[in-house]
Structure 1
Amino acid sequence: MSTYNTYYQTTALEDWVTNFYLKLNIHSPQDINEDYIAREQRIFLHRKRIAPFFQIVGRYRGITIDLRETKNKQREVFFHELCHILRHSGNQGMMNKAFRELQEWDTKNFTKYAAIPHHMISYIPLYDENVIEQMANMFKVTPELCEERLNQIKKGISHNQNNAFVLL
């Protein structure tokens, strides 16, 4: 068993994303497709030269992505807006600051987990010197997001490795 599998503990949100993907039959990085996810969730996906946003009006749910961004950045923005539709309610313009910040924290983490899901980390050579580049190519997201997610994974492994014998 690898160090990753032995020591890494998932968060509730990581588990939520994994279960969401498995229900959609998304098992490998190649399976992650914004159009497919949107279609399966009955969300209209639009690509225009305007700032990104999501919209829910009655039964209509839509995500608009800015075509002026790179393809990798567009994917990340899709996950951000998808999180709002799937997990949040209310109008952020009318909610208190603390609740709005909580939703944005959730969305930031959801984006990392949806872009590079826990159940696909076995595809990543975690300790290869070119791992960030490989992750960016494999998951079609920015190197910055890959670095954040990799640091999160390594920190989780290290933390749990250090605490593994505390309970003995």
Structure 2
Amino acid sequence: MYTHLEDYIYELYTSIGIEIPVNLDKQIIAKKLGVEIIYEEDKLFRFDNEISLIRSDVRQEWMDFGHEIGHYLRHCGCQLNMHRLFIDLQEWQANNFAYHFCVPTFMLDKLYNYTIYDIMQLFNVDYDFAYKRLEMYTNKFYSGGSMKWTYQLN
């Protein structure tokens, strides 16, 4: 059983023809959603249909895109005039959105016997992001607390 956010992301991706990890490309997704990606020196933000990213490695840009597209799709208004607590809520929501957007549950469900390194490669995310996402995923199935992932670095 999926959460509302997982259902939303599944519907979003399938509506634009994204069904496997290899199709998770920020440029293609942005174009299909009518979003323009621009690059700034030092700020991430969303304004109207523009998402600003900081030039970085491909993984960081993908994770940042997931966060900013979360703002684009789920939030409205300008944070400059918001109460700090509401800004914090929106940032938490965008972070949570990014985990599910960058590593969708419906794609994870199709995998078998995978590691954090497999998730890093398949979904183009960094170690900490993959670790956290797998922890979120497994916690859905095990209500007895956090799963501890241990892997040796190669």
TM-score, normalising length: structure 2: 0.86
Aligned counterpart, 2:142:
158
Q: CA deviation at 1:98?
A: 2.5
How many aligned positions are there? 144
2:90 alignment counterpart:
103
Q: Does the 8 Å CA contact 2:105/2:137 hold for their aligned counterparts? A: no
Return the structure number with greater relative CO, CA threshold 8 A, min gap 6: 1
Give ranges in structure 2 of 5+ residues lacking alignment.
Answer: 145-154
**Aligned with residue 40 of structure 1, among 11, 25, 32:** 32
Letter in 1 for 2:94: T
Q: Deviations over 1:37-79 (max 9, x none)?
A: 11111111123443222212xxxx1112111x22101101011
Paired with 2:102 and 2:79, the residues of 1 have a C-alpha distance of 24
Residue 45 (structure 2) pairs with residue 53 (structure 1): yes
* Residues in 2 aligned to 1:22 and 1:52: alpha-carbon distance in whole angstroms: 27
Cα deviation code 1:120-144 (max 9, x no counterpart): 013433x54xx11110010001111
Give 1 or 2 for the bigger CA radius of gyration: 1
Partner residue of 1:62 out of 8, 26, 50: 50
Once the two structures are aligned, what percentage of the paired residues are identical?
24
Alpha-carbon distance change, 134 to 80 in structure 1, aligned in 2, over 3 angstroms: same
Residues 1-168 of structure 1 correspond to what in structure 2 (within 5 A)?
9-56=1-48, 61-67=49-55, 69-125=56-112, 127-128=113-114, 131-159=115-143
CA distance in structure 1 between the aligned counterparts of 2:59 and 2:143, rounded to whole angstroms = 30
Post-superposition offset of 1:27? 0.4
**What 5-or-longer segments of structure 1 have no aligned partner?**
1-8, 161-168
Q: Contact 1:124 / 1:135 at 8 angstroms: preserved in 2?
A: no
Deviations 1:12-51 (A, max 9, x none): 1111111110101110000111111111111111234432
> SS at 2:141's partner residue?
helix
- CA apart distance, 1:99: 1.9
Q: Deviations over 1:63-103 (max 9, x none)?
A: 12111x22101101011111111110111121122222221
Q: Partner of 1:54: helix, strand, or coil?
A: strand
TM-score, scaled to structure 1: 0.79
Alignment RMSD (CA, Å): 1.6
Amino acid across the alignment from 1:63: I
